[in-house]
Structure 1
Amino acid sequence: MSENQPIIGGKSFTAVAVNCASKAGEWIKSKIGNFASPDMKYSMHDLVTEVDKGSERMIRNLIGTHFPHHSFLGEEGVEPGPEASVKALEKVSGSEYLWIVDPVDGTTNYVHGFPYYSVSIALAYKGEVIVGVVYDPSRDELFVAERGKGAYVHGKRMQVSGEKALSQSLLATGFPADHQVALPANLRQTLALAPQVRNIRSSGSAALHMAYVASGRLSGFWEIGLNAWDLAAGSLLVQEAGGTVTDQNGQPYSLGVRNVAASNGLIQDELLAALAKA
């Protein structure tokens, strides 16, 4: 463990993050059958809320047991919309240790039984992400990064892909929930980029898209209007696997970034230029 990774009471930050992600992931997966039950007392929305809230409560409680004095920023505690997200992040921005959690990233997929959703847990120390964990319960894949120590999946070191040009690249993006500003902007970028790349995917979990950039399965990922909990863990995975994460103006990643561009680093300048042009 490095200096900024003290072991408190014999528990490392990373071990706790991994434990929380896998426990929450298993629990979420066990709930998926509820959607198919014939006596559905719930609307889809209620059930998603129950799973999101339950997962977040589980993670918050586990972290609180080990690190009672740490701050916590979870998606469930924040009202929808960009203003609320900015405010919520500002409120905890002075924290020394801040856990940033998305209890279910990819809820739409989850509801439809499309097996592409994840649990995302990050720990920031004085505003810099030092631990990032993304867990995919459907494939039982755990992506883990610790600042300065590399990024791993299935215990194997991850390395970003080697594509040197956009024309060879497989990219991913998302279709934002904000249909006024973010979605039209993202669609313009998709329209501009599609003919310039090998192909584009939109699988519905930003955290997993970032993990896939880190593991070399995607050359790059961009999206407009994301939140800290979508990106914090994934940003460290990409960086520790040798990739680059910036905002769409090319500024280095920070917790406040909403319009993200992440890649293997080799195509970053070309990606940013193409996004700017769109």
Structure 2
Amino acid sequence: MTHTKEELDEILAFGTSLARKAGDKIQAAFLQNKNIQTKSCNTDLVTETDQQVEAMIIQDIKQCYPKHKFIGEESVADGLKCDLTDEPTWIVDPVDGTTNFVHRFPYVAVCLGFCVNKERTLGIVYNAVSGQMYTAIKGHGAFCNGKPLKVSSETDLKKSLILAEFGSARDQESLDFVFENLRSIISTPVHTIHCMGSAALNICAVAAGQAEAYFEFGIHCWDYCAASLILDEAGGVSLDTEEGELDLMARRILAAANNSIASALSSKLVHKRLPRD
């Protein structure tokens, strides 16, 4: 199945409107006290807003595009299979940066990726607090609030700002793995490493030329589907951490301004394979 540019423009208009609608719900709850629950561990947080926003997004998609499939973070957490087929499929993260949301740190995004034939075709990442709307259609560039995005021209890892995350796991083996990679990178030495708490917005920061690279192990397709297309369309590269083709189900990503940065960063990392989505 293929879509014309006009059809994709219509889907993008629908998706950005839906993202703003979801963002309104997030903004309304942002400064309020939250009902916080946990999923895999006591640092893997979910709120009523995550669940309510995803339910609203899926309902609106079903009403407008009844034949489209979806993969949603909270739906998968509730037991729905994470199944990416050739059918038009929305990959949804209702609140990327839930811990930020809980603590009122303004780095929180609605993520809507759209895949056809298992390929990333359209991406929307909306910072619900700042109002930054990142968008891309495959082959047609990337934008933030309508203005074109362009990655950094820096090619030297030593002169780079790198984004990374600790993740939610706190067992000793997981922590040792994270710290080994952070130590390797900071001792390169790079200019600095920042941990901002949202995979999607980290990738969009690379797309906007605000950082040279981001990497993470253990995330999920809804964290990076939409944003990785935005980065690619801004002139950057979204790869597997070992520099192979990006795999949406492999739960690891290396997002960089260019192949030089990606290769240098990959060579510094200890790699591991994870259970697939």
**TM-score normalized by the length of structure 2:** 0.88
1:4 is matched with: 3
The correspondence of residues 137-148 of structure 1 with structure 2, limited to 5 A, is: 137-148=128-139
Q: Mapping of 1:52-201 within 5 angstroms?
A: 52-79=50-77, 88-89=81-82, 92-180=83-171, 181-195=173-187, 196-201=189-194
Establish whether residue 206 from structure 1 lines up as the match of residue 205 from structure 2. Answer: no
Query: Is 1:267–2:267 an aligned residue pair?
Result: no
1:223 aligns with 2:223: no
Question: Which moves more between the two structures, 103-112 or 11-20?
Answer: 11-20
Whole-Å separation in 2 of the counterparts to 1:240 and 1:246: 14
Query: Residues 157-187 of structure 1: CA distance to partner in whole angstroms, max 9, x if unpaired?
Result: 1011011111110010011112345443222
- Which moves more between the two structures, 201-210 or 16-25? 16-25
The unaligned stretches of length 5 or more in structure 1 are 36-41
Q: How far off its partner does 1:121 sit?
A: 0.5
Aligned length: 262
- Evaluate the alpha carbon distance shift between residue 95 and residue 104 of structure 1 in structure 2; reply closer, same or farther with a 3 A threshold: same
User: In 2, Cα distance between the equivalents of 1:230 and 1:171?
Assistant: 18
Confirm or deny that 1:253 pairs with 2:246: yes
Residue 48 of structure 1: how far off its partner (Å): 4.4
Determine if contact 1:248/1:276 at 8 Å carries over to the other structure. no
Q: CA, structure 1 residues 131+100, in 2 after alignment: closer, same or farther (shift >3 Å)?
A: same
Comparing 180-189 and 61-70, the one that deviates more: 180-189
Please state whether the residue corresponding to 1:34 is helix, strand or coil.
coil
Give the superposed CA RMSD: 2.2
| More displaced 10-residue stretch of structure 1: 183-192 or 206-215 | 183-192
Q: Distance in 2 between matches of 1:158 and 1:51?
A: 30
> Is the helix fraction higher in 1 or 2?
1
Q: Distance in 1 between matches of 2:169 and 2:46?
A: 19
CA distance in 2, matches of 1:152, 1:115: 20
Q: CA deviation at 1:257?
A: 2.9
CA distance in 2, matches of 1:61, 1:55: 10
Unpaired segments of 5 or more residues in structure 2? 39-44, 273-277
- Judging changes above 3 Å, is the alpha-carbon distance between structure 1 residues 223 and 72 closer, same or farther for their aligned structure 2 residues? same
Report the identity percentage.
Answer: 33
1:225–1:258 CA contact under 8 A, matched in 2: yes
